[in-house]
Every structure is written in C-alpha cells, then in structure tokens.
A and B are shown apart, each in its own frame.
Chain A
Amino acid sequence: MSAPAPLTIETRSKGTPPTRRIAIAGNPNCGKSTVFNALTGMRQKVGNYPGVTVERKEGSFFGTHGEPMTLLDLPGSYSLQVRSPDEAVSRDVLLGRLPTEPRPDLVICVVDASNLERNLYLVAQILELKLPVVLALNMVDMAEEAGVRIDVAALEEKLGVPVVPMVATKGRGLIELKQAASRSPLPPLGHVATMPQVILNEIEEVAKLLPISSQLAEPEALLLLTLNESALEDLAEHRRAIVDAVHAAQRRLRIEGIDPISAPVEARYEWIHGVCRASLSKQGDDQALLSTSDRLDGVLTHRLWGWVVFLGAMACMFFCIFAVAQAPMDWLDGACTALARWVGSQMPEGDFRGLITDGVIAGVGRVLVFLPQILILYFFLGILEDTGYMARAAFIMDRLMSCVGLHGKSFIPLLSSFACAIPGVMAARTIENTKDRLVTILVAPLMSCSARLPVYALMIAVLIPIASAWVKASIMLSMYLLGLIAAFAMAWLFKRTLLRSETPMLLLELPPYRMPSIASIALRMWERAGLFLRRAGTVILSLSVLLWALASYPKPSRPDATPGEALSASAAGHMGHALAPVIAPLGFDWKIGIGLIGSFAAREVFVTTMSIVYNVELPDKEQTATLRDSMRNEKRDDGSPVFTPLVCIALMVFYVLAMQCISTVAIVRRETNSWRWPLFQLGYMTALAWIGAFVVFQGGRILGFR
C-alpha cells in the first residue's frame, strides 16, 4: 500500500541532506506572518489542508550555507487546547498527527516581546511536545518603548532554547533567526513547566494506552487529560477505552483536590512567571502610565467619537469598494468587450466565434471585473487588521451581532458583501468558529451587492419614469434594508436550527495600535488576487460557457430569426417557458423567466437579456430609456401591461433575496470545500426570493394594488 515511503528515503539518502522542515507558530497578533513573509518573501505556496477549509501556507528559504529549508506557517493560536479548526491544524501538525504533513524538525515560536507572559503560554505547551524550538522574540522595539527590558541571555537560560531578539517589520534579527534555524545539529530540547507529581503519574498511565511512539505519547496524554467533558465526548466514539481511562484519571485527580482542567494551566503560568522574573525588568509603573496606544484607544472606542470614527472608516471602505473601484471595473469591462469585438472581427462568423466571444471572453471578463473590488477590499482589510483596528470594530459591533447569535467578527464580511458577496465570503475567514463562519457565508449574499444596482435602476425606471430622485432613492434604500433585515433574520434562524450553536464566546485580544506595513499588505493583496483568479476563475469560466450554450442552442429553425426569437427558441428560452407556471404566481411571464435564468451568470446580465428579448440594441445610456419604454409597453395576452408597479416591486424583491450569481456559488464552494453548502444556499435563497415576491405580488393584489 504505502509505496511512496521507501522512495522518499531513497531520494533522501542520496546527495544532499534532507530539507529541514520548520514550522512557525505563535499567537495571533504576534507578527508571525511578518516573520514568515520576511523569511520567505515571494517564495510562498497557499493552499488548503486536505479535507478542511483551513489555509495552508508554505514557503521556502535558504539557510546560512545555502541549504534549502521549508517553512510552514501554522494558523495563529493561543493554546494547543483547540477551539477552532485552525487551531486544530496547528496542534495536529506539531504532534505529527496529519498523514500528509510530516512532523516538523524545528519550530520557530514567534512571541510579542511587549506581551511576553501570555505569549509564552503557547511556547510552554510546544516545549512540552519535545520539539526543538527557536524563540523569535519579536517587536523588541515596542517592548522597549513600553519600558520593558528583556535579558536575552537569561531568557535563553531559563527556556533552554535559542532566543533571537528581532523587529520583523524592519528586518532586524532576520539573519540571526536564519542562523539559529539552520544551525546543525538542531537545538536541544528546552525546559518545561513542572507539573504536579500526581498529574505526571496520571500522564504516564494514560500514555501507556496510546498506540504511538513514547516521545509523543506523553504530550498527547497530557492534552487528553486536560480535555473538558464535551471534547472528550466527541472523542469517545472512536477511542472508547482511552476516553474511559482519561475519565478515571480525571476522577482520581479530583479526589486528590486537583482540577485537571486548570492545574496544568496554572503550573505553566507559574513557570512562565519564574522565567519572566529572571529575564524581564520593567521601568516605571505601567499601570499608571498611559501608552500612546491607550490614548488612541480612548478616542477610537469612545462612546461618541468611537462611532464617528467607526462609521467614517466603514463609509470610506464602502465608498472605495463601491465608487473608486468603478473606474477600473469599467475599464476592465470595456477592455473585455473591445477584445471580444476585436476577436469577433477577426474570426469567421459561427458557433465557435460565439463560444470564444460570448462564452469564454465574456465569462473571463465577469471574473476579472471583480478584481478591483477585491484588491481594494483586501487593502482595507489589511490596514484594519495590521493597525489593530479590526479587533476594535468587532469590539464595537459585537453587541449588535450577538443579538442574532453571531460574533462581532461577522460584521466585516457582511459589510463587504454590500459591494460584492465574493470578497465578503472570502473575508469570513477571520471567523474562527466553523458554524459561525458558515452562517456568515450563508447570509452574506443577501446583502444587496453592486451587481443588483443596474437591475434596481432599470426596474425603478420602468416603475416610475418621472419620479423625483427622492422617491427613487427611498425605493432603492428600502431594497437595501430588505436585504439587511433578511440577512439578520436568516442568520438568527440558522443559528437556532441548522447550525445550532451557542452565541460564540467573545474572548478577543485588543492588540496595541501599530503602523501597518504597506509591503506586507501589498503581498497579501497579491496573494488574494491570485487565489481569487485561480479558484473562482475555473468554475466561473466553465459555468459561463454552459450558460452561453444554453442561450445559443438549439438554433432557431428560421435563419433570419431576430436575436429575441433565437433566444426564445434556445434551451434557455425553453427553460423560461417551463419556468412560466412556477413564476406566474409572482406576476412574472416567460420573458422575465429567461431574464432570471440569464441572471445566474451575473445579475446585471438581466438588463442585457431583457434587451435581447425585447429586441433592443445593446443597452447604452440612451438605450436604457428605449428598453424601459418597450418594457412599459409590453402587454399580456389579455392586453393588460406586464410590468405593473406591483410586478416591478415583486421583481426587485426577488432580486434582493435570490442568489443569482454563479461567481458566489463558485467562491462558496471553494471556501466551504464542498458543493453541499453552496447548493443549500442557492436553494434556500431561491425559495426565500419566491416567497418574498409571492407575498408582495399576491398580498398587493389582495390590498387592491395592481
């Protein structure tokens, strides 16, 4: 079975020594990513761990003698006692539990020197795993600023591992870190916290039962011993005997008066306290001294100013995603159209030309056109994250979000979705809890994105051609509000039913404010853009080609058919006809049905589809008026107009609630790693849209509207 194994040994035994595998671990906000980026530069690969949606980031760098090293960036975590899939990956890699991931030869633990005590907690746990460790003592400049002096030699002696003081953002200490990481032989194992003897005895008992090497058995046993009841329950299914033994051990400890959950934590902090006492000296009374960060925070989370800054920051971000992105988006759109036109002029007329211009180029164009929004979003997310303001945004919004059972961190993805659900769904990665991340992703497309705007504009124009800007704006605003309310209501519902879970506990570190590094933000933007193009591009492209084919085949029987007749004769046209009875209760006819189907490529395609159906030339600025007029003149068989005000409103409500966007489906598929959730989302949102439009149309009729 395991044929590849000997192969690796063979290749390793020849020539150069094996590449040293290094993992980089640390708390969130300790500058771990900066250290990783500084070491590897652009030599990074981003992917996923098999079977989970946790991102896997690997890079490479060369040691002091040119020897290649691979560096694995572990997700940031506070403890090996895991609470999220990200933290589970960190733990599993360090324990060598993953079949696809060999246990690292060395761990670089990054700690924030200005917050050493808490940062050392994870280090204490990693040292217990009996892995060689190098401590990257990051942000020593900030520590010095705060009056904290660290005696590196004393710290090395107490921890028993090499310590490299550094300022990763300025590149200070990088060479020393590389030297420490490439030194041969590997650094010796460090010191560990002393656990109470009774706990050590129980560790030994549990370790005996574990079918793994003795080096790993003890750390595993300690992790098991400190698991709480619910975590043990989850394990019980597979490891009945072991779980029973752990239960028995925990009982014995409790009889001795030792709480297995808290005693190891307290032992580690006590040890850390000793380490810090020997190596740390503080100048002045830090409680009395207000740092710049504290003073800044006084304003930024102030009862009044906090809101002003928060709303201002969000408005600015929203405006940039919405308005500033418009110019490059139009440019990309225009470039794609021009390219399609040029290719069209160079190729003989026929199906193949249609496939290239209307299928491939238009499809790729629809992906590319989102790129400016995504870049701008990641620029802002990067700034918010790196300055430390993101945590404050969650701090301010948590009260509101917890009303529907979500975490303050769900706010940013939902806000971003007003511009476009794609970056919104991608931004949900900052949410640790899987269920909460899923709920956020599921409701994000209910926020009215910019692609709905042309549809709203068209329907409002048809509805009331000479309305004042005020009326138009208030109709528009109510559509946005409807989406917002629907998103919160559905989040509330999902949190109580399908993805039932407690409102996630809030335990949010508010890191000190820092200057963001533009280079690292640019690197992240570049990385995200690439990911988006690669991940969504393939799916969106193939679905676009499929939609093109549906709208083009079969060909109309008469060769002189108008584009409208051709569309009506195509598979999409037939689907429109087939859809007619389903959407009749909403007041929609088959032509609108075709428009709905075409909208799955992207919502704004509705306008184009409608112009084809009504044989109006491509909708330029003036042609919108023509399209509006032909839609207003459209009559049913009985002579009554199709687009009554009620139908227009029902149609808009449908567009607010429906998930007519294959790009979002594709990105949700990528982000959740399965088809299950995007399909469910498509289903529930379509149902919601149908019900919403039904209630508007039928309810309106009962009330006497037309």
Chain B
Amino acid sequence: MISGDSAALSALSPGDRGKVASFNLPPEQKQRFLEMGLTIGTEVQFVKFAPMGDPLEIKVRGYHLSLRKADAAGIYVNRL
C-alpha cells in the first residue's frame, strides 16, 4: 500500500507498470480477466494502443493480452 497511486488500466501510458488492485466490472467479465491471470496483486505492463486507439495491449504473466478500453476502465491498478 506504500507505493504509487491507483488508476484505471485504460489510463496508463505505454511502458507503465502496475499491480492489479480491484475490479469494477460485471462478475462474468471479472471472472474472465481473473482466469486470464489478472488476479489481484498481479503485475501488468501497459504495452500499447491499437492503431485506431482501441483496443489496447498489456503484458501479464509473461504473455500479451488485448482488451478494449471500455473494459480496461473497470480494472484498477496500483502504479509501480
């Protein structure tokens, strides 16, 4: 709890890193993100936006995952 401020995943910039803090998503979507490895405390790295600005790409548990901005707005991370 010492480090950094909390922000929505969609608000990060390329290269930023953070740890998953909480979700504000319908249970089904939350479960899918969890199952893809985005459990609380997992480190994620923001990689980039798609050429049209949406979706975006993150790196989590060593692999690359793409999700839409709208969904990423419901995932909060503590910046590292």
A residues near B, CB below 8 A?
A: 78-79, 81, 83, 114-115, 117-118, 121, 226, 228-231, 261-262, 265-266, 269, 286-287, 297, 301-303, 306-307, 391, 395-396, 398-400, 402, 408, 505-512
Contact = CB atoms under 8 A, between A and B. Distances in A.
Contact of A261 (B31, B57, B67): B31
B61 to A, nearest CB: 4
Interface of B: 17, 27-37, 39-40, 42, 45, 48, 50-55, 57, 61-68, 71
Contacts of B67: 505-508
Contacts of A83: 32
A395 B50 contact: yes
Contact of A508 (B29, B51, B54, B66): B66
B52 to A, nearest CB: 4
B34 A262 contact: yes
Given A395-B57, A402-B68, A269 B39 contact: yes
Contacts of A117: 37, 61-62
6 contacts: A226-B31, A286-B62, A396-B52, A505-B32, A506-B67, A509-B64
Contacts of B31: 81, 226, 228, 261-262, 265
Contacts of A306: 51
A422 to B, nearest CB: 30
A508 to B, nearest CB: 4
A505 B40 CA distance: 21
Contact of A228 (B27, B36, B37): B27
B64 A506 contact: no
A265 B37 CA distance: 9
A492 to B, nearest CB: 18
Nearest to B61: A117
Given A399-B53, A505-B71, 5 more contacts: A78-B36, A266-B40, A303-B51, A402-B68, A506-B67
Nearest to B54: A399
Q: Is the interface of B mostly helix, strand, loop or mixed?
A: mixed
A301 B36 contact: no
Contacts of A262: 30-31, 34, 39
A307 B30 contact: no
Nearest to B37: A118
A287 B66 contact: no
Contacts of A398: 50, 54-55, 66, 68
A229 B29 CA distance: 12
A173 B79 CA distance: 42
A78 to B, nearest CB: 6
Nearest to B50: A395
A496 B50 CA distance: 26
Nearest to A266: B39
Given A121-B37, A228-B27, A398-B55, A510 B64 contact: yes
A115 B63 contact: yes
Nearest to B34: A265
Contacts of A399: 50, 52-55
A507 B36 contact: yes
A230 B28 contact: yes
Contacts of B37: 117-118, 121, 269
A510 B65 contact: yes
A265 B51 contact: no
A395 B67 CA distance: 9
Nearest to B65: A509
Contact of B63 (A118, A302, A395, A402): A118
Given A303-B51, A400-B52, A115 B62 contact: yes
Residue of A118, A261, A511 most packed against chain B (CB within 10 A): A118
A286 B28 CA distance: 31
A266 B32 contact: no
A506 B36 contact: no
A402 B55 CA distance: 10
A397 to B, nearest CB: 8
B63 A265 contact: no
A507 B62 contact: no
Given A395-B55, A398-B54, A508 B65 contact: yes
B52 A506 contact: no
A48 to B, nearest CB: 27
Contact of B35 (A81, A307, A391, A511): A81
Contacts of A118: 36-37, 61-63
